[in-house]
Amino acid sequence: MYAALLLPALCFGFQDADNAEAPQSLGATIAEAESVPLFDGQTLDGWRGQDGLWSVEDGAIVGRTSAEAPLKVNTFLIRDEPAENFELRLNYKIEGGNSGVQYRAEVFDEDQFRVRGPQADIDSSPKYSGIHYSEQARGIVALRGQMTKVVPGGKKGVNQFVGTCGDPATLQKKFVKDGWNEYRIVADGPTMSHYINGQLMSRVTDTRPDRETAGVIALQLHQGPPMVVRFKDVTIKRAP
């Protein structure tokens, strides 16, 4: 992550959306779908990633890096079942560094388990958790508290700020520091919404004709200083 958000000179449609619900399209269908576990709580069956970085401890997936062998690039634990329209839920805890949940993603480096596409960000600092980040592509698309629309333009599209879902500092207070937090990611057609502990953190509606519509789910270990990230209770509801 760590890239600038492109905003147009004029903002429009500003609205207070603290308790906004996602625009209706497949939302009801997704909500009524069966919840399916993606992690059995004991093994990494169904997932693949770089040896020595991922394990299962106390019923949680654990990604761990060290000062002795720092990562030079971001790497991921990948679930190879493509997902298109869905609600993904998980609980996470992070100690240092940065992580994220990749979805509708494409694997582009099999040797180092690297992917690109939309990401629901996770951060040990107060800055990035809840934002919408485009890994290896467009960078930051919506900061915490922002609702944006991506329209065609250039190679990456143009991010238009269309509203707010809360003050970033106030939203940060929803997080449990050094504890478990619940992430809910809803990918509903062109609209992608990130919730942490029940609060909408960011929302993006991508109207590009070549937008990402389906792809893998993956969990991130970020390059840089040593870090530990944990995930548990990973479930998905898929629209038929």
Percent of the chain whose pLDDT exceeds 90: 83
Structure tokens, 26: 């497949």
Percent of the chain whose pLDDT exceeds 70: 90
The reply to whether 1 falls in a domain is no
Q: Is the pLDDT of residue 145 over 90?
A: yes
Distance, C-alpha 95 to centroid of its chain: 17
The reply to whether 43 falls in a domain is yes
The reply to whether 3 falls in a domain is no
Query: How many domains in the chain?
Result: 1
- 153 is in which domain, residue-wise? 27-238
Q: Are 175 and 168 in contact (CB under 8 A)?
A: no
Compute the average pLDDT of residues 56-75. Answer: 96
d(CA 26, CA 80): 23
Q: Is the pLDDT of residue 12 over 80?
A: no
Confidence class for position 25, pLDDT limits 50, 70, 90: low
Instruction: Report angle CA 84, 88, 15 to the nearest 5 degrees.
Output: 90
Work out the mean pLDDT of the chain and round it to a whole number. Answer: 90
Strand order in the sheet with 75-83: 47-48, 75-83, 215-221, 98-109, 114-123, 132-135, 139-142
pLDDT, tens only, 191-219: 999 999 999 999 999 999 999 999 999 99
pLDDT, tens only, 98-134: 999 999 999 999 999 999 999 999 999 989 999 999 9
The reply to whether 95 falls in a domain is yes
How confident is the model at residue 8, as a pLDDT? 34
Q: Is the pLDDT of residue 30 over 60?
A: yes
Give the chain's length. Answer: 240
Looking up residue 169, the CATH number of its domain turns out to be 2.60.120.560
Q: Specify the 3-state DSSP secondary structure of 27.
A: helix
The reply to whether 198 falls in a domain is yes
DSSP assignment of 100-120 equals EEEEEEEEEETTTTEEEEEEE
How confident is the model at residue 154, as a pLDDT? 78
- CA dihedral for 186, 104, 54, 133, sign (positive or negative): negative
